[in-house]
Structure 1
């Protein structure tokens, strides 16, 4: 009766209840009295407050101090310089041999090495918690689970210490967690308020879900845009855990979810069926048993997506382990009303605690089985890679050395084997030059990640997607690539070398910098910041340089020595330092008279306006897109951006800025006078860079006058089963997919691009007709644009008739509309420059 009593009471549990907290979370467990419980250490019961991240780390430090079974290490730091820690727990024998165990596990994951004996090999279990900062129960569960493993005296706790090495990450997103914890604790009532309308349950924008730059880190295991994920994935490849958990929260009226996920429709195409059909069901039985014991409701095999490779529960599946996602109903505070009664914070924590223990029991019970699967996974990867008709993928951009280096490094970060291309190679319409291209063989242990990087997928078992339906990373980097069975594989690339360019000596009439390189915008901004006057060449030319005759495309930067406010020697020193820092090659010319094309004093050469950028943020604005823009300008350009809440826009004098960025969102909260000020500013020469739904808002305000694509809608059934509504309506959405677009290479939006076609990423159903002005739709879709991901036939037809980017003139100003996302998740390096061109050259685009 005791368990039944506790399970009923658990829904309403708060710290004020009189029974023992230890008994609530761990019924019948005895603990080593020399190890303080989290409650003893913190001074309050777990679940009574949202525990700050620094206190979680302090508790782990205390465990490390008191127990020989524990080791705490810092593997990196967040943007806000919080430490990223891993707590390792095992018995004394395994702790003494920890490095040997790690090396054996890595050897097990390498089919080129002999398979080690795994009969006595401990299970490697990675308990990962808290990737979303405002899903706080998991990190509290990380405190309690660590305490149980270290101090628990039950037979199971002892087995876990004997038969496993447990690696705990208490939260992947410390910055977001502390943002949410401060909110929840600051707004807590005494007694707690369960009303969902209470301020405690409704965070201010952007909320605590995301990291410092408002990114969802649960999508970043693949792109590796942020230090939290970069250090985590680097650490992951040092261990290749057999099991990895990923604990989350969902809506308050839900119950609890654990895997399996939806069969076929939510599964990743490169993961072996054995993972889904055999291993997941084995582990699910343990989760069900533990949840049955406490009377918590749960469900499986519905909704949750396991396809996107960047999830913390999917990435391990593509590396020979078992990734497991768990979702509990959320109290989003300390107590919240639900359809089943008041959900307490402690109740949500306990759900994750019991499934942490269930995971550990399942892992040690299936220890040898999971070790054998790890080896089998990589052996079959090599075997499948040998059978792949592609044999190799060759890639490289002849004109952009920095983007090449970024992509090569990205592949190496994911432990993919990369080799030099030993000979010029023509594949289809692409030519890959020796020294400027690389080869990735398919016959390698990371074959399934190779597919992730280079394959386009168009056919799916489902037409409704929780997240992106396409993730071809070579396309994200804008990288020309092709299957190349006959490629000549050269030396393996172990590290990416940085280039060094000799700065030209002697007197110069002007200096030229090619705009093709990814970091040219960063160099430009630093030159402007240093007080150096820079102009842009708007037509192609051929100049005599220190390296002979060189062709320069439109968009080339020119630094004329005759129009500078600083001394020549200082300018040259600054230019040299900035060029070296950003790996930019500088060309010297001694005359303004060119060999062909325009001369340097042409009217087609003009000053580059130094950007003064403002972006509206706040309720109604997509924090994801705004964060992507902020992160791009901070990390890739070093350009400050003024972020202003929409509520404060009435206080803004736009004439202090020359560029306004509107991420997707609803700006209806702006007053009539604010809108009139915006109209006046644009009319007088301002540039608005607008993304997707923000462009629809501008249209409604009469600032622009563009038209939606209209098609005769296909007739739909008059009646359908109610249960089919989600699938039928969801299939109409564009679930994050990739398309081929065509650039007008003469337009400033395309400066720096040498190839006419470019992959773009779309995750909206906004289809706008090309401009009525025949010159102002510089990016359109090709005749057959669909490259990868899901799109319905009706939406594809609309897409073909719509614009990717168009310009709307307004007086002396303009709006630059992006209907695709050029900065998606910090991963779309190939389209970043389109966005940056709108900022640097926006005043020349109409």
Structure 2
């Protein structure tokens, strides 16, 4: 095959509009004049501006319009209603048979069907770009690569069009991209400023990396918390691409990275070794060849993590394809100084363009090989699953139907087969009831994803992780589950719906709503918003309801009809509407006298006041954590919260709010006048919800008096080789792992929970001693808490003695301190209720 790149000898090349786009990006190539180049369509050379997402979409619409070899599809919309698009390019013949090709690919990935003849099947290539909005070179590369494939007259382009179906996703994160593009373009100088200190190269908080809710979408292929990922995964399972790319940027002083990643140290435990030992090196030869031709520096086999299944470069590895991560040095703007000279935006784009083309060539040369591997992957998954001593995993929370069904839906979104449990069974020391539990068999094509969802991993070849080292989603959902050696399957679940209930029709003295269900907090807020007076029963009791004698736990909501500002009929109508909307069962009682326990007029029953929440965001605040809280309140409760920048706290009157949320951050720059105001507000009854290390600041300003755990550290070596410093120090961090915690079920933080233990997620190395007040450490760790993920022995011993949650009284107010992550990545449904309880019942917790 003739070389596409010849004669380029400069590693760093200052790019100006006088340079020909094709000479720079595609030297020696010729193009179909009927296909407009990005430069012709946009009116400026690629690399001169950061292209807005709507213009990227319009360019792809133009390619769709001018060629029968291109087809554009909208697969979903972002939070900010930008379309998520896929541009498909293939020969006219393959485009005419696209659905047949897709169905054959699905047949190939299904071991229960006969294997099709792969000798004539086109390879399916998915080129994904721009999951991080402020890593913008990849989306520009997407336009150039799509143009090349559609218009180039080179032998390679013709061969790819004939032998492949190539799907382009130009921007996985459109909302973040536009946030960054606006910043870079509006701060661009004429000429551009290369100084790294220039405003153009330093975005305002929260930056463009994340999506609307400040989530990193490169972590969301597994949790599926956002519409961008939900649409992407649904599309992915319609195609099962053989090769998927994931283009990124890294530090300006770096060069270029492509896989393989670090051998053994950063690999996913369920991915076959063939992926790492054979396929990755096979493709890497192409990347090095293309980079050598343009004399661009690069590196491999270091640092980058390939273990977490929620990456765009790892999820395909668990689905019979090859996921590939690429990282280029970033100009973080239009041009920036580096240790090797000026890095231009065009230079970073070109690196990704050449590796897009290298990926297409490698995929074509290994077309049949990758098809055979796809089939082999799923056949071996079924074979391994059939030999697993666990014939299935049984799960379900009998007290929380909504959360259970959310987990069922989540599994099915990942194409995992789920069945009804047809009988009451005991497994792993846990009782699972018919009709309230489900079974996931291990003997299925998605066996490796089943392991991902249910297995806890504790043993690792490496001790330093770029990201989370634990991801067991059954734990994240707080699902009671167990492996079963003889699970009897009921009917397969084909669709999932949240529960619905008949509203009681008889005349009522009061209505009761059990707090156990995941969406009970949403119903509480909807009732408060509708003007319904709601009280909470703070002790367990048994009442006579339309279902007979019914047990209720502490935290049960009561709507007394005698204390409403509206008529009984209006209350009933509103409750019926809200209950249907939030999937909650409402119980009617005819009397305030209960069968057992306290009565409904007890002094241990009181009003639940509608919270008014202020959350600090902005410079110095962890945007991921703030985004998790914002997303939780919007998506799961529908409760608006006021977000205020940290530098505006001095202007706020806290007495306008009931609750202040402090995501992890640096608050030490706050003025003395604000800290005095904060102390006064707390002492008069305010509630602070504080995350992790904020407790140290609250201690310093005199609101709390908690102590870090005193622990006799193991002696450090007197000397170590310089080269091990990263691994040695990194192993001390708790980068993201799962532990078993013990709840005080009588404390309001645990309202709605029925089991004394629950999995919690920790990604902090702060260890706080339990409260000196013996009643106010409602969540601690069990004696042997480690469930999954990496932690060194010394930190594990610290953890066993430390607190997960502490309540710190201050005057008539209190601080609720979370040292774990109850809302992590929008996926920890099992611990969200702890945070809801802090919101609604915080004033009862001390």
Q: Shorter-chain TM-score category?
A: over 0.9
Matches within 5 A, 1:312-351: 312-351=312-351
SS in 1 for 2:231: helix
Q: Deviations over 1:81-116 (max 9, x none)?
A: 000000000000000000000000000000000000
Residue of structure 2 equivalent to 1:379: 379
Residue of structure 1 equivalent to 2:237: 237
Residue of structure 1 equivalent to 2:550: 550
Residue of structure 2 equivalent to 1:12: 13
The answer to whether the aligner puts 1:414 opposite 2:408 as a matched pair is no
Matches within 5 A, 1:470-509: 470-509=470-509
Q: Deviations over 1:440-475 (max 9, x none)?
A: 010100000000000000000000000000000000
Matches within 5 A, 1:434-445: 434-445=434-445
Deviation, 1:3, is: 6.9
The answer to whether the aligner puts 1:697 opposite 2:711 as a matched pair is no
* Cα distance between partner residues in 1 of 2:318 and 2:213: 27
Matches within 5 A, 1:142-541: 142-541=142-541
SS in 1 for 2:150: helix
SS in 2 for 1:126: strand
Deviation, 1:14, is: 2.1
* Cα distance between partner residues in 2 of 1:40 and 1:722: 53
CA contact (8 A) 2:8 2:293 kept: no
* Cα distance between partner residues in 2 of 1:247 and 1:337: 22
SS in 1 for 2:512: strand
* Cα distance between partner residues in 2 of 1:608 and 1:565: 16
Matches within 5 A, 1:4-43: 6-8=8-10, 11-16=12-17, 18-43=18-43
* Cα distance between partner residues in 1 of 2:716 and 2:633: 45
Residue of structure 1 equivalent to 2:134: 134
CA contact (8 A) 1:683 1:810 kept: yes
* Cα distance between partner residues in 1 of 2:735 and 2:484: 30
Deviation, 1:696, is: 1.8
CA contact (8 A) 1:7 1:296 kept: no
Deviation, 1:506, is: 2.0
SS in 2 for 1:551: strand
The answer to whether the aligner puts 1:648 opposite 2:648 as a matched pair is yes
Q: Deviations over 1:653-695 (max 9, x none)?
A: 0000000000011112211101111110000000000010222
SS in 2 for 1:6: coil
SS in 2 for 1:245: strand
* Cα distance between partner residues in 2 of 1:554 and 1:712: 40
* Cα distance between partner residues in 2 of 1:300 and 1:381: 29
Residue of structure 2 equivalent to 1:801: 801
SS in 2 for 1:131: coil
The answer to whether the aligner puts 1:611 opposite 2:581 as a matched pair is no
Deviation, 1:426, is: 1.1
* Cα distance between partner residues in 2 of 1:44 and 1:238: 36
SS in 2 for 1:549: strand
CA contact (8 A) 1:469 1:736 kept: yes
Q: Deviations over 1:720-765 (max 9, x none)?
A: 1100000000000002000000000000000000111000000000
CA contact (8 A) 2:318 2:448 kept: yes
* Cα distance between partner residues in 1 of 2:135 and 2:538: 50
* Cα distance between partner residues in 2 of 1:291 and 1:72: 30
SS in 2 for 1:781: strand
Deviation, 1:5, is: 6.3
* Cα distance between partner residues in 2 of 1:473 and 1:267: 19
Deviation, 1:498, is: 3.3
Distance 1:626 1:272, change over 3 A: same
Residue of structure 1 equivalent to 2:633: 633
Residue of structure 2 equivalent to 1:66: 66
SS in 1 for 2:299: coil
* Cα distance between partner residues in 1 of 2:668 and 2:190: 36
CA contact (8 A) 2:6 2:27 kept: no
CA contact (8 A) 1:4 1:295 kept: no
CA contact (8 A) 2:149 2:157 kept: yes
CA contact (8 A) 2:402 2:499 kept: no
Matches within 5 A, 1:678-757: 678-757=678-757
Q: Deviations over 1:308-364 (max 9, x none)?
A: 000000000000000000000000000000000010000000000000000000000
Residue of structure 2 equivalent to 1:109: 109
Q: Structure 1: which 5+ residue stretches go unaligned? A: none
Distance 1:2 1:166, change over 3 A: closer
SS in 2 for 1:213: coil
SS in 2 for 1:336: strand
* Cα distance between partner residues in 2 of 1:122 and 1:551: 61
Deviation, 1:500, is: 2.1
SS in 2 for 1:71: strand
Number of residue equivalences: 844
CA contact (8 A) 2:307 2:314 kept: yes
CA contact (8 A) 2:180 2:207 kept: yes
Q: Give the stretch that moved more between structures: 167-176 or 427-436.
A: 427-436
Q: Quote the RMSD (CA, aligned, Å).
A: 1.0
* Cα distance between partner residues in 2 of 1:144 and 1:19: 15
* Cα distance between partner residues in 1 of 2:566 and 2:270: 58
Deviation, 1:129, is: 0.2
Residue of structure 1 equivalent to 2:583: 583
* Cα distance between partner residues in 1 of 2:625 and 2:453: 23
Residue of structure 1 equivalent to 2:834: 834
Q: Deviations over 1:283-329 (max 9, x none)?
A: 00000000000000000000000000000000000000000000000
Q: Structure 2: which 5+ residue stretches go unaligned? A: none
Deviation, 1:430, is: 1.0
SS in 1 for 2:183: helix
Deviation, 1:4, is: 7.9
Deviation, 1:72, is: 0.2
Distance 1:540 1:3, change over 3 A: closer
Q: Give the stretch that moved more between structures: 713-722 or 411-420.
A: 713-722
CA contact (8 A) 1:777 1:806 kept: yes
Deviation, 1:12, is: 3.2
Q: Deviations over 1:544-597 (max 9, x none)?
A: 001100000000000000110111111110000000111100000000011100
The answer to whether the aligner puts 1:763 opposite 2:763 as a matched pair is yes
Deviation, 1:6, is: 3.5
Q: Deviations over 1:525-561 (max 9, x none)?
A: 0000000000000001100001100000000000000
Q: Deviations over 1:164-198 (max 9, x none)?
A: 00000001000000000000000001111000000
The answer to whether the aligner puts 1:566 opposite 2:549 as a matched pair is no
* Cα distance between partner residues in 1 of 2:790 and 2:559: 46
Deviation, 1:160, is: 0.7
SS in 1 for 2:120: coil
* Cα distance between partner residues in 2 of 1:791 and 1:163: 48
SS in 2 for 1:791: coil
Residue of structure 1 equivalent to 2:598: 598
Q: Deviations over 1:62-94 (max 9, x none)?
A: 000100100000000000000000000000000
* Cα distance between partner residues in 1 of 2:435 and 2:5: 68
* Cα distance between partner residues in 2 of 1:15 and 1:415: 48
SS in 2 for 1:664: coil
* Cα distance between partner residues in 2 of 1:246 and 1:740: 34
CA contact (8 A) 2:593 2:600 kept: yes
Residue of structure 2 equivalent to 1:54: 54
